[in-house]
Each structure stands twice: as C-alpha cells, then as structure tokens.
Amino acid sequence: MRRPFSILAVAGIMALTACGGGGGSSASQSPSAAASGGSSPAGDIADTGSIDELYQAALKEGGKLVYYGVLAQENARLILPVFEKRFPGIKVEHVDATSDQLIARAIAEKRGGAIQGDVLAVPIENILQAEDAKLLLQWLPTEADAYDAGLKGTDWVGIEEQYWVGAWNTNLVKKADEPDSFEDFADPKYKNLGGLIAEPRDWEMILAMKEKYNGDGEKAIQLFKTIAENNNPSFHKGHSDLSELLVSGQAAACFTCYSHQYPPRIKDGAPVGYFLTEGVGKPVGNAVFDGAPHPLTAKLWSRWVASEEGQKVYAQGGRTPTHPNVEPVDPVRPKTIYHVTADSYRDAQTADGTSYQDVWNEMFNLR
C-alpha cells in the first residue's frame, strides 16, 4: 500500500522524585554488547535489575543521554531536569527538531555508519518511519507491561498522548444541543448554529472510527461523509487556531479539537465546552536507537519515562501521560479512547487500495 506520509519529509515538580545515588567510573562498555539486552551481564541488568541498579551501570557510559524528541521546550525545561536530578551524573542533550527532521537526521547518521542519538520520542507515524528504516532496537522496558496493546509495539512504548474530542462555543450551542459523541456531528443543526470546523490534516480520525466500528472502514468513512454533506465544515490548520475560533464565536463546534487546550481556556472564562465521553488518542512513542552510543543510559531513560514515577513527572510537566495509573493534571483523558495504532496506520486504505488520507481529502474537498 502507499504510505500516507513520506519517510524523508523533512520546582514543585522536583518533589515528585527522590535523588538517586552518585558516583561512577569513566570506564565504558561496548555499546553493541550493552544494547543486546541479554548477551552480557551488563545487558541483562537493563531487564532484570532495578532502575537504580541500571543507573549505576549506566554511569559507566560517560554520563550522557542524547535525546531525539519532539518535547516542546516549555515542557522539556520542567521534565528533563527532573531526570537529571533523579540520576545525578547524567546530563540530557536534547536534540529539538520536528519529527520528520529527527527521522531524516537519524537515517543520514545510519547511512554514515555512526548513530548519534540514544532515544527517539516522536508520534506513532514517525515511529513507523523509524521502524521501516531499521533504526530501532527490538527491546521494551519491563514497565511497558502495564500499557494497553495499542500503546506499544515490539520496540516502542507510548509515553504521552493527545486526544481529539468534540468542542463547542457555549454561547452558540445550548445545553440541549451539546454533542457527546462524534456521531452527533452528523446532525445538520451545527451548520445553522454557527458552523462546524476541523483540522484538514486529521485524516487519522477515520482510523479511530474504524476501531470504534469493529474494523468496518466503510462505516467510518460514511460517518464523515454524512458530516460533510450535512454540515459542510470549514477547515483551518492548527489546533490552537481551532480553539480560538470557538472562543471568539466564529464557529459553533469542532470535531477534531485537542482536549488539553480547553481546561486553561475555561479557567480563564472562555465560553467553551468539550466532551470526554469518547475521544481519539494518538500516542508519542519512545524507543531506543539500535546502535545507541549510550545504550544502558538509553534503557535507563526508557524504563524511567514509562514508569509511574516518570509518567507523573510528565503530567506535572504539562504533558498527558499514557500510563493507566497516572492521571493528567487537567481533565483531558476521555472515558473511552479509540487509539490510532501502528496496525491501523499499516492498514490505512479502502478495499480498492485508496488511502484513507485521499478519501478524507476528497470527501471534504481538501487540496
């Protein structure tokens, strides 16, 4: 099938964790032996030892973690120093770029014979790009056992997630007209109440509704065709812009809005509401690079960030954790979540081979 993206498209929080031990040696271990995860005693400790035992072994790699991730700087300033305080002697070098740029950089490094990154944290579609390029180590932290199947693969685990939900302007949409499911947006009333809006690039909504309809892709497509026919939604790039259009009353409702953008606006008195009865979840996956220069440090980060401890730090740092036992700071996690999964991306086409992205663009007349 044709992939719908191109591989070359290019200190309250500190109280959450206790300080770990210090010390360590400058002696280094062979990256290939350590990265194997089981071919040597040093590799075994990443799987069978405690996080603190793994930390002591990781210190011998030189005290550096090279983090290729899309974590926004405002969140990185809150999250990464907590890891450094928890594990003294290890400094995080954050390579901040778009997900496509990070993948392209890693591919170039592999072709040059020298992987520079230790861990990769990017949205699920970019994790698939990394898998296709054989960039990732076939390894999962033991902490991944707590996660749903849709939030992990053989080489990655979801560490945060964004949720698409329905939202509306409460001045334009009265209580009796408020939606509580995506199917409600097929009702033509929203066109008359002030208009329906969405983000043009959110074609993955089809994948999620296909999951909701037990694998019936045609039923998922029909839902959005009905939304298109009955409400003729307008499309605007940028989820923040969608939220501002709702706040200002330039639209009545939105069916691909991010839930995390509404609690702060509501706290500020904005006339908006959103449902959490159901939602679409798209994870950011964390993985270890195959050939990482600091393999044990990479596994230390991966175990910590997938643990309840690390996930609480992510929540306090302004992100939405995926661990089932860790709640977000604000009410943003839907009761029922339809995850956009790796499997759904790899089967993102109709029976005749047309990609769902093309179907989305055609039904909404997007160019």
Greatest Cα pair distance in the chain: 70
What three-state secondary structure class fits 62?
coil
- Name the class of domain 161-281+332-363: alpha beta
- Span 158-183, mean pLDDT? 97
Strands annotated E in the chain: 64-69, 91-96, 119-123, 157-169, 196-198, 234-235, 253-258, 272-274, 278-288, 336-339
CB-based contact 76:314 (threshold 8 Å):
no
- Span 43-65, mean pLDDT? 93
- Span 267-279, mean pLDDT? 98
2.40.37.10, 3.30.360.10, 3.40.630.30, 3.40.190.10: which CATH number matches 12-160+284-316? 3.40.190.10
pLDDT recorded at residue 29: 35
Where do we find the tokens 């230390």? Answer: 300
Phi, psi of 321 (to 5 degrees): -70, 155
- Structure confidence by residue, pLDDT tens digits, 67-83: 999 999 999 999 999 99
Per the prediction, the chain carries an average pLDDT of 90
pLDDT at residue 30 greater than cutoff 70:
no
pLDDT recorded at residue 15: 40
pLDDT recorded at residue 43: 52
pLDDT at residue 39 greater than cutoff 90:
no
Cα 271 to Cα 231, 246, 249, 251, 274: the distances in Å are 22, 8, 9, 12, 11
- Span 232-245, mean pLDDT? 97
DSSP-derived letter for residue 349 is B
Residues facing residue 65 across a β-bridge? 92
User: Could you tell me the residue ranges of all domains in the chain?
Assistant: 12-160+284-316, 161-281+332-363
pLDDT recorded at residue 168: 98
- Span 297-305, mean pLDDT? 98
Fold matches, 12-160+284-316 and 161-281+332-363: yes
The whole-angstrom separation of Cα 290 and Cα 284 is 19
Q: Which residues contact 367 (CB under 8 A, 6 or more apart)?
A: 361
- Span 189-196, mean pLDDT? 96
- Structure confidence by residue, pLDDT tens digits, 91-128: 999 999 999 999 999 999 999 999 999 999 999 999 99
Going 111 to 114 to 115 to 117, the CA torsion angle's sign is negative
- Structure confidence by residue, pLDDT tens digits, 193-207: 999 999 999 999 999
- Structure confidence by residue, pLDDT tens digits, 155-169: 999 999 999 999 999
DSSP-derived letter for residue 15 is G
- Span 210-238, mean pLDDT? 97
State the pLDDT confidence band at 367, using cuts at 50, 70 and 90: confident
